[in-house]
Structure formats: C-alpha cells, structure tokens
Structure 1
C-alpha cells in the first residue's frame, strides 16, 4: 500500500466520477459550444453571484490571467511573501504581465488592511503603480490557514478607496468555506476576481475556474488563448468538476479531522520540534535540530509513505480523499517506529 501525502493533487477519479466524465455531452469549446463546460461555468458563476466564469486547465493559468486582467506592464501587485503567485508560478507575474510584487511580511500567509495601506506606492511617475491586491485562502505555504473574513472586508475597502483590483487565489477556498462556515456568495461580493481549483480537495483530475463580473472578464477568453489554454472537447474534464462539486464538498471535513489527528501524533514524538496550527488539510511541522530531515523523509519512503520536504527543516503532509482510514492507522503506527 502506498500512502501519498505529498499533496491533495495526487488523487485519482473515482469510478463514479469516471462514469460522469464518460457520459458528458461535449462540443468544441473554442467555439464556446461545449455544453458541459458551459454548464460548469454557469454553475460556478451562480455560486459566487458573479456574471461570468471561465474554465482553465490549471490554477496557475487562471491566476496569471487574473493578474493580466487587472494590470498593465510596470504595475505592482501587493501580496504576501508566501503567495503562490510569487513562489510557485515560475515568475509568471513578471514574464506574462510585466509586473512586480510588493511582498508583505504577513502571518502564515495572511496580512492586514493596514499593511496594504502602507504598501501602496505614492502617486508619482517614478514609482511603479500599485494596481492589484492578491490574497490566498487557504494559505498553502502558511499551512492551510484560513483568513478572517472581517479582515478581508477591511482590505476590500482599502482597495475600493484606492481603486485597486482585488483577486483571490482560492485554490483551496472550499476548505476555508467548510471550516469557517462561510459562503461562496460572501466571497463573490468581496472580490473582483476569484480562481478556484477543482483538482485539489475536490478530487477532479484537471481544472480551475476564474470568476468575475462581465467588465473585468471581458478579455479573459483572449488571454486564455494567448496562454495556450483553449480546449476543444473539454467537457469530459468539466464533468469531473461538476461531479466533484456535487459529491466531494462536505467530505472535506474528514480530511481536516485526519490532519489534526496527525498533528497531535507528531507532537507526541520527541524528534518533532513544532507543528504549525492545523485548520484544514495541511500539516507543516519542524524537526528537532539534531534530526536529519532527509533521513526522516527517506525512512517514511521506505515504508511507502511519501511526504514533502519544504526546506528549512520544515516538512509537509496533506490529507485528501484518497487517504483512507486504514492508511491513517498505518501512518500513525509508522510515525512511532522511526
């Protein structure tokens, strides 16, 4: 048995999801004639109370499109130092949109409205123009932490007062909604654009969706084409997303419970220095100074348990729908044998 906790992207479609994919009605989406993609886009735009949505092959492409919609070359984006758009999108903000990032020193990937205010550049020609504020919920590098929605609203007000765009990288937003008992409509009202992923916690094989109102989304289709993201009979993939939304949302709380259980077990081990607070499905922990992190990862790999070494002596485990109860029991047992 292989226990893969490197990411929640390692899941594979269930038999039922595959059946939904094979039963999908499809067409040519370049002509906007794929009925299943159209259905998915309409469904998600309605969920968030927005006018338009566009299906993408990846969350990175959806985020990069949003940045390009909000900015012009030379502009600046305010985001956290842990932001996915800065750390894990191959420098796309600079390459694709010609923008720089003003990195805030937040807490676990989250910052305050006051920090945003202080980061906005003066209105002088020799400064880059601040054009966009971007946040990530949940925070990946911050250990699956969930934002305080009250702070989001405060940041929204700062954006409104300063005529800044406001984008949410909601790759794992579904986890925050379950944990905080919040709604998609709340987020739709707060943000100008939102990207959501269907291939992480929800278990679809591919796909993210970018949501926004008509004005900001008017050029999104052209930019997706520019980035090479147009698809033909993509409805087979969209069908997986529709199935995931209908069947895999409420079960996310099971992943959260398992993650918290892992955290408690890690804290019992003498070799563990600390475990970051666990709210959702990500467990980030640090080893004692005298414990070799590569040794720890290799010892687990010998037992067919795979996790991520994030560097700086920090390791990560991510629970997901393919991580079963029996796998969970084995992991707990093996942690005590290292």
Structure 2
C-alpha cells in the first residue's frame, strides 16, 4: 500500500533538475561572500520580493529569529498574532535569543485587527517596553493556510508607519498567497519592511530560506546569522535548488490549491467530519473529527494504518497539507481511504 503523506509540504523531495543543479553548482566560501550560486540566489530573491538585499539562511525559523534579533533589542516587545508560527512553533526563540517580550493579539483567520494593533503599540513610559516590531504571517498556518490580502497588509503597514514601528512578514508560504490571489508577490511584500520566505515547503527545495529587506538591515542580519552558527561555506549546493524553486516551482502551487479544495469538498461530505471548503484558500485543510467520538490522535492512528499520514492541530482537529509529491490520483485515493476509516469508526 502506497503511503500518502499529507503531514506537511516540508516532506517534499527535490526534483531531478534540483538534484542535477546541486551536483553541478558553482561553489565558493559563502562566509567570505565568495559563493557565486548563493550570491545569485540572494540577488534573485531580493528582486522577486522587491527588496534591496537578501540573506540565505538555513530555515524559516532562523530567518524569522535573525529578523527579530536585527530589529529588536533585549527588553523590547514585539506584536504578533496569537496563533502565529513565530509564537507557537519556534520554541520561544524570540525570548530565549533576542530577550524580547511577545505581545500576542487574537486574530480572525490569522489577521489581527489594525485598530487593535495600533492600541497595542506602547506609548513612552518608563513602565513599558518599547514596541520594536510587528510580525505578520502570510499564509497563516494555524488558520488553515489563510491568505492575508494586500489591503489588509497595507492597513497594518500604515499603522506601523505612523507609529514608526517596522513590520516583518513570516512569508514561509507567501508564494501560495500570491498564487491564490493571482498577483505578483511584490504586491504583498511591498507592505512590509522585511520578509522571510521558505524554499523547502511547497516550492520543493530540500533546505533553506531567505530573509530580505533593506541593504543596511541585511548587513546587520548577516552578523546575527553568523552568531547563530548559520554561516555556511560551500552553500551553493543548497542555493542551486532554491534558485529553481523560485524560477520553476511557483506557478505549480495552483495544483496544490486545487487538490486541497478537492480534498476539502470530499471530506465535508463524510459523516463525522466537519470541514468548510469555503475556508480553503491554499494548500491546507483542517478537519474537525469530533463527530466521530474520537480524538484527533486516535483518528490519525487509524489513518496511518490505511497509509494516510496527517498531523493533529488540536484535540479534535486534523491537518492535511497538499504538495507537489501528492498527485490528483493520490488525493482521490486518500479520500477513499479516509472515508473507509471514518465509516469504520461510525
């Protein structure tokens, strides 16, 4: 029985073209700024994101944390949505590494209200920490791959500009957002000061992310990357597939979105599952299994026996993520197996 892995788009394997690019990449020492493939990737990423410069980092988490370290100082405060990846899934790195206080605000499908963000920005008072940064996430993972549209991004940035607070975007899946909206990614990233994008999710590269922003910011960020042990040497072997991720893998994200919507519509018709297909905008589907009388973990164990891999997103929530290594045929087969499992439970 073939396993159908819907745990995450991080499980994607590099394409054959990526493997060949890794084998033939032109190399140098990136810490000395001498790896031509890394330099080419950073220049390409900066251009695509509409920023002055970019920095190749090992992961999305490292990119986000380097951004926080560069923007903020110990004892300051950053504002972010309560279910954001930076707050929820990065092991409290913002406090452990940067020494900053996180101030979380509830969001609606990952979007904090601009008025509430403005209220949360600290005034000048010796009792208060300085608000150093506002962080956004687009698409928003725990909101089911929800897209934050450009008008919303603009509204947050206008608040931040008035208050002289920079905005950082955790854009690990920002190309999913751009494809879903049918716009150039720069229409999103123009409303933030810095942005992190991930190559090893839907774009299919094996490793790496990029942090982009003003040249002076990136110069400082490069030292923070070094302090975190992220200064790589002949890193062109990793940058080469990331270049292909940017140039060849973006448009095909629409296939993942179509597959996710197909999956969501089918799951919504299975008695015992609660799924709202209208909320599925990109490649993430969240199903409530409470109607089965079992927990998410129990359902996942039964699904695994049928070769379907997914993850729990709460006591009764299961997350499915589509990606390039799951075909339309795989989705239809997954639907059949999931239906069999839920029917058996009922």
Q: Do both share a fold (TM > 0.5)?
A: yes
Secondary structure of 2:274's match? strand
1:186 CA displacement: 2.4
Aligned to 2:240: 239
* Runs of at least 5 residues in structure 2 that lack an aligned partner in the other structure: 342-346
Q: Give me the whole-angstrom Cα distance separating, in 2, the residues matched to 1:291 and 1:180.
A: 37
* Runs of at least 5 residues in structure 1 that lack an aligned partner in the other structure: none
Aligned to 1:327: 330
1:335 CA displacement: 1.8
Q: Give me the whole-angstrom Cα distance separating, in 1, the residues matched to 2:211 and 2:52.
A: 11
Aligned to 1:145: 146
Q: Give me the whole-angstrom Cα distance separating, in 1, the residues matched to 2:335 and 2:187.
A: 38
Q: How does 1:1-338 map to 2 (within 5 A)?
A: 1-275=2-276, 277-292=279-294, 293-338=296-341
CA RMSD of aligned residues (A): 1.2
Q: Give me the whole-angstrom Cα distance separating, in 1, the residues matched to 2:298 and 2:191.
A: 45
Is the Cα contact below 8 Å between 1:112 and 1:151 reproduced in 2? no
Q: For residues 254-301 of structure 1, what are the alpha-carbon distances to aligned partners after superposition, in whole Å with 9 as ceiling and x for unaligned?
A: 100110111111111111134471000000111134521233211110
Q: Give me the whole-angstrom Cα distance separating, in 1, the residues matched to 2:95 and 2:267.
A: 39
Q: For residues 135-178 of structure 1, what are the alpha-carbon distances to aligned partners after superposition, in whole Å with 9 as ceiling and x for unaligned?
A: 00000011000012112111111111111010000000010000
1:329 CA displacement: 1.9
Secondary structure of 2:103's match? strand
Q: Give me the whole-angstrom Cα distance separating, in 2, the residues matched to 1:268 and 1:289.
A: 13
Secondary structure of 1:219's match? helix
Q: Give me the whole-angstrom Cα distance separating, in 2, the residues matched to 1:188 and 1:102.
A: 23
1:320 CA displacement: 0.3
1:187 CA displacement: 3.2
Moved over 6 A (4+): none
Q: Give me the whole-angstrom Cα distance separating, in 2, the residues matched to 1:199 and 1:290.
A: 34
Secondary structure of 2:340's match? coil
Q: Give me the whole-angstrom Cα distance separating, in 1, the residues matched to 2:314 and 2:156.
A: 31
Is the Cα contact below 8 Å between 2:273 and 2:292 reproduced in 1? no
Count the aligned residue pairs. Answer: 338
Is the Cα contact below 8 Å between 2:264 and 2:275 reproduced in 1? no
Q: Give me the whole-angstrom Cα distance separating, in 1, the residues matched to 2:293 and 2:244.
A: 43
CA 184–336 in structure 1, closer or farther in 2 if over 3 Å, else same = closer
Q: Give me the whole-angstrom Cα distance separating, in 1, the residues matched to 2:101 and 2:212.
A: 23
